[in-house]
Amino acid sequence: MTSKRALEAAGMLAVAGALYFAPSFLERGTLNDLWSVALAVVLASSWNLLGGFAGQVSIGYSAFLGIGAYTTVLLALQGTPPVLTLPLGALLAAGFSVIIGYPTFRLRGPYFTIATIGVGEAVRVVASSLSFAGGASGLRMPAGSYDFESNFRSMTLLAVALVWIALAISRSAFGSALSAVRQDIDAAEALGVNSTRLKVTVHALSAALVGLAGGLFAINFQYVSPGSVFDFRLSLTIVLMPIVGGVGTVAGPVLGAILFGWLQLKLLSIPALLSSSLFIYGALLIAVMLFEPKGLLGLVRRLWARRLRRFYIDA
C-alpha cells in the first residue's frame, strides 16, 4: 500500500511539474485548451466531493464560481492585487455555502436538488440587479491585471491539488463518514454521524475550491457578468461531468472533465452546434446511464478486466 501511494504521489508531482513548465515549450493555443480542461477538472472534482462522496446532488454550483469571480473583479477595481483577492473569494463562497447549507440540507433527495436550483437562480437575479456589480452588463478587470502564464500555472496546479485532496478524503475517516451518509443517512446518524454538520463541512470545502477557480476565471477572461458565471447551464455541466466520468470516484470526474473539455473545444469550432451543447451533453448522459451506469471509469475498468482475463487464459 505504501509503495502504491508513493507511486501515486510521484505521478502527481510529475504531472504538476510538466504543467508548471508547459508555458516554456507549448504554444498559446494548446495552453488555452489545457487551462479550460483544468478548470473543468476543478469544477467536476469539487462537485464530486459533495455530490459523489456524500450523495447530495446540488445544481447550484455556478453560484460559488460567480462569487469568487465577482470578489476578484470588485476588489481588483479598488486596487487590490488580483492574487490577493483569491483567498477572500474562496472564503466568501464557503461562507455562502454554510448559510444556504444548514436550511437546504434538512431536505432530502429531489427536494434538496430543487432547492439548490432556486438558490442558484436567485443569486443570478440578485447579481443582475446590483448596480455596483455592473448589473446585467457585468464588469471588466482593470488594465494590467492579466498574466497568462501565472494564471495558467495556478489553475492547472489547483486541478492537480484537487485530485490529491479528493484522493486523501476518499481514504480518510471523513471520507468513510461521507460514504455512510451517501449509502444510508439514517443508519449513519444512528451510528453517531452528524450528517448535517458533515454535509455542511464538505459543501464549504468544495465551494471554497470552486470560488478559488472563479477568481482565476475572472483574471483569465478579464470580464464577468451574471450570464457568464451564474448560468444555470454551467451548473448542469458541472453535474454532468462527474456523472458521465464516474460519480463518487477520484478519477471519474477527471475523465468526465477531459471529455467535456474536448467536446467544448470541438463545439466552439462549429458555431452551429454550440447552441446545442446541452442537447449533446444530455444525449451523452442518457447513453452512459443506459449502457454504463458507472460512467467512463466503469467502462475502462470493465475493458481492462476483460483484457486481463484474456491474458491469463492465453497464458
pLDDT tens sequence across 8-52: 788 888 989 999 899 989 898 899 999 999 999 999 999 999 999
Residue 128: phi and psi, rounded to 5, are -70, -20
pLDDT value, residue 312? 61
Q: Kindly give the confidence (pLDDT) of every residue in the chain, 315 residues in length, as a single tens digit, with 9 standing for 90 and above.
A: 567 778 878 888 898 999 989 998 989 889 999 999 999 999 999 999 999 999 999 999 999 999 999 999 999 999 899 999 999 999 999 999 999 999 999 888 889 999 999 999 999 999 999 888 888 888 999 987 788 999 999 999 999 999 999 999 999 999 999 999 999 898 988 888 889 999 999 999 999 999 999 999 999 999 999 988 998 888 988 999 999 898 999 999 999 999 888 877 777 667 666 666 667 777 877 887 777 778 888 877 887 777 766 666 665
Task: Return the sign of the alpha-carbon dihedral for residues 13, 206, 152, 144.
Answer: negative
pLDDT value, residue 311? 60
pLDDT value, residue 268? 66
- Distance of alpha carbon 314 from alpha carbon 249, whole angstroms: 32
Contacts 24+ apart (CB under 8 A), 276-285: 277/233, 278/233, 278/236, 278/237, 281/236, 281/237, 281/240, 282/240, 284/240, 284/244, 285/240, 285/243, 285/244
- Distance of alpha carbon 123 from alpha carbon 63, whole angstroms: 6
pLDDT value, residue 146? 83
CA distances from residue 151 to 135, 203, 265, 281 in whole angstroms, order as listed:
26, 25, 20, 28
Place of cell 448522459: 285
CA distances from residue 139 to 73, 136, 191, 201, 229 in whole angstroms, order as listed:
7, 9, 49, 31, 12
What are the extents of the domains in the chain? Answer: 2-314
- pTM beyond 0.75, yes or no: yes
- Distance of alpha carbon 75 from alpha carbon 67, whole angstroms: 12
pLDDT value, residue 264? 77
pLDDT value, residue 314? 60
Buried b (16+ CB within 10 A) or exposed e, 53-80: bbbbbbbbbbbbbbbbbbbbbbbbeeeb
The x, y and z cell numbers of residue 248, run together, are 463518487
User: 96: Cβ–Cβ under 8 A, 6 or more apart, which residues?
Assistant: 63, 64, 67, 207
